[in-house]
């Protein structure tokens, strides 16, 4: 599978007109003040360092790639691609949605956003693969094996079957906070991608949402949420209301043209 990965990179990267960065359990437009290194790997004579805000979790994660040459100088002239790969214990391997491709930021690092739909564990593990192509040089690849992705409760999948055509479509959805959850209104980013095949997850546009936060342990919900609206391809912004601290379950009803596609549930505790 890995030997043929370079030919699949163009299929795994989803284009977007803007990057919305996720740092651990949050999503914002600004990079974090500190980054955590997840390791380094060689791509030919280029050293690739993989960084993120805190740790890798299910949901949307900001991925930062720091490239240096053999002399330790920053590499800023490369075309970079990033691909996560989940190697399942069943032998069925797949990628995940990636909003990119990685672009050079003001700090001289390449960044993109990856939506991990499942955690690492007994069912499988994630490899992160990076290809680097510099002007006049051959494309080279770095691999970060068996990266740990924890379960944040911010990602869900569901299947919708068209009643007319009987065509079934799998959707990958994430709900991400702009800052740590708190009592009151919380800005959120929701990403929605469909599964075209095991490597391809195009963004889904033209959707409508209803947010319903509930606290089952207390038997009540919280009024005042602002339902998400489109920002860029596959991404929607809204505000989620929490009336108190504790464990919350938010049902997100997703529809298109008046047809309900699914109602994924996301868990949040603060």
Q: What is the tens place of the pLDDT at every residue in 249-263? A: 999 999 999 999 999
Domains 2-147 and 155-269 share a fold: yes
Buried b (16+ CB within 10 A) or exposed e, 180-196: ebeeeebbbbbbbbbbe
How much is the pLDDT for 54?
A: 85
pLDDT of residue 32 exceeding 90, the answer is: no
Select the more confidently predicted residue: 202 or 33: 202
Percent residues over pLDDT 70 in the chain? 88
Higher pLDDT, 2 or 62: 62
The share of the chain scoring above pLDDT 90, in percent, equals 87
**pTM higher than the cut 0.95:** no
CB 114 within 8 A of CB 82: yes
Structural domain boundaries in the chain: 2-147, 155-269
pLDDT at 22: 37
User: For domain 2-147, which CATH number applies: 3.30.300, 2.60.40, 1.10.10, 3.30.1490?
Assistant: 2.60.40
Work out whether the CA dihedral 216, 182, 149, 134 comes out positive or negative: positive
Name the class of domain 155-269.
Answer: mainly beta
Task: Provide the mean pLDDT of the chain.
Answer: 90
pLDDT reading at 80 higher than 70: yes
Average pLDDT over residues 176-195: 97
């Amino acid at each position: 599978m890995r030997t043929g990965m370079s030919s699949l990179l163009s299929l795994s990267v989803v284009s977007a007109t803007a990057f919305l960065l996720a740092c651990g359990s949050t999503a914002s437009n600004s990079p974090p003040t500190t980054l955590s290194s997840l390791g380094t790997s060689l791509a030919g004579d280029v050293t690739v360092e993989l960084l993120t805000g805190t740790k890798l979790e299910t949901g949307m994660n900001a991925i930062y790639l720091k490239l240096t040459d053999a002399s330790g100088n920053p590499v800023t002239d490369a075309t970079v691609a990033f691909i996560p790969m989940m190697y399942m214990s069943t032998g069925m391997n797949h990628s995940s949605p990636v909003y990119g491709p990685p672009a050079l930021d003001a700090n001289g690092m390449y960044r993109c956003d990856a939506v991990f739909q499942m955690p690492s564990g007994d069912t499988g593990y994630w490899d992160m693969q990076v290809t680097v192509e510099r002007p006049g040089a051959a494309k080279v690849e770095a691999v970060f094996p068996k990266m740990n992705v924890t379960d944040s409760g911010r990602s869900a999948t569901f299947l919708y079957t068209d009643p007319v055509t009987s065509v079934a479509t799998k959707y990958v959805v994430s709900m991400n906070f702009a800052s740590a959850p708190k009592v009151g209104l919380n800005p959120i980013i929701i990403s929605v991608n469909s599964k075209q095949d095991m490597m391809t997850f195009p963004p889904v546009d033209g959707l409508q949402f209803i947010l319903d936060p509930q606290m089952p342990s207390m038997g009540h919900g919280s009024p005042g949420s602002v339902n998400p609206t489109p920002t860029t391809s596959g991404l929607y912004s809204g505000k989620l209301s929490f009336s108190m601290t504790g464990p919350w379950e938010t049902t997100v009803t997703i529809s298109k043209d008046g047809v309900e596609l699914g109602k994924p549930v996301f868990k949040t505790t603060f």
